[in-house]
Amino acid sequence: MNIEAVNPEQYSALLVEKSAALQSQFMSFSPPELEVFASPTQHYRQRAEFRIWHDGDDLFYAMFAKGDNNTPIRINSCPMVSARIETVMFELLERLKASDELSRRLFQVDFLSTLSGELLVTLLYHRPLQQEWLDAAQALHEDLNVDLIGRSRKQKLVLGRDWVLETLNVDGRELSYQQVENSFTQPNAAINVQMLSWARDTTRTCGGDLLELYCGNGNFTLALSDQFDRVLATEIAKVSVNSAQYNLQLNGIENVAIARLSSQEFTEAMAGVRPFRRLREIDLTSYNFTTVLVDPPRSGLDEGTLALVQGYPFILYVSCSPDTLARDLETLTLSHRIERMALFDQFPYTEHKESAVMLVRR
């Protein structure tokens, strides 16, 4: 986790600069006016990872300046993390300092919290964990009222649950999400709600069926499911697929099918290149896809997936990398025009730009 200089008084000006930079980068595509969604100025990160630095008998949370992972900066306060994390993390640190069993060869602490105050803490070690660790960790689990995980090489010990349950209010509708430790979830819950609401607004009149690639734990899937006749969502990570299935059942959503496939594999399936056993219960020819939603990793879309998504009238592209989004738009705007574009300030006080475009076939 790199240093974020949290200064609420400067936030508005920094967001204006970030918006201007994004608009400038995409000027050649003649997009409509950029829609900008601001983050809370403090306590906006629901998950965080901290290195633990040992200095003799002392240990502390450490951050690092960008590009320098060897010079630790001691963390004495952390206003960017959720209030729940900040409340617990320093009490936890004192407990770790007081216990050789809990602190010995500890190198990282991960936190995963929810808006409702649930908290999961993972302690990572460079040594095997024995019964003595479990005994010490049990007291920590009970006293701090947190779920607790100990990890070392090929070892995972869980006290409580290895997931939290997040509940988001999206357009007056409560959606519950299981979020599993060590798997991807949106870090800024307030911005995530705005992303989901925006996605609903942009697809409100699309109709037909939705194809979603890179669905994760069903973040967008759940929020958009009631706006389409049916949804087919794909995801390669098994843990995320299982969470998505759990979340669909938890929220009583019945018009969604999940396929554990990569975007490349799904492209091959649609082209009839080869059959997949993981699709044996899904009739692809029965879908009337009008809209495709992609939320790819930083590398963006591969050539096959780019060609696939161009076949649909509406493309909703959520991106964590303006550079790869701009690269992909060079192809996508040959067949589609940008109807709407948004900046979601997922990581305030940083250069990171989370953006999304809604493309409509020309």
State the CATH number of the domain containing residue 76: 2.40.50.1070
CATH number at residue 290: 3.40.50.150
181 is a domain residue:
no
* Residue whose C-alpha is closest to residue 104's, from 78, 130, 76, 74: 130
User: Are 270 and 130 found together in one domain?
Assistant: no
Q: Are residues 349 and 207 in the same domain?
A: yes
* Residue where a domain terminates, one of 131, 164, 197: 164
CB burial class (10 A; 0-12, 13-18, 19+) of residue 246? middle
The first and second tokens of residue 251, run together, are: 């929220």
Give the Å distances, CA to CA, from 153 to 109, 125, 129, 130, 132.
15, 8, 10, 13, 17
Which residues are CB-contacts of 205 (< 8 A; sequence separation ≥ 6)? none
List, by residue number, the catalytic residues: 320, 354
Same domain, residue pair 55 and 31: no
> Do residues 214 and 142 both lie within one domain?
no
Strand partners, 346: none
Based on the domain organization, do 332 and 246 belong to the same domain?
Answer: yes
136 and 231 belong to one structural domain? no
pTM score over 0.75: yes
- Which pLDDT belongs to residue 249? 98
Is there a domain that residue 171 lies in?
no
Distance CA 55, CA 62 (A): 11
Q: Specify if 332 maps to a domain.
A: yes
Are residues 29 and 98 located together in one domain of the fold?
no
Say yes or no: 220 and 128 in one domain: no
Predicted local distance difference test score (pLDDT) of residue 1:
46
pLDDT tens digits along 258-274:
999 998 899 888 888 87
Count of domains forming the chain: 2
Q: Which domain holds residue 57?
A: 47-164
Residue ranges of the chain whose pLDDT lies below 50:
1
Decide if 279 is inside a domain. Answer: yes
Domain limit, last residue, from 164, 198, 213: 164
Residues 137-148 pLDDT 10s? 999 999 999 999
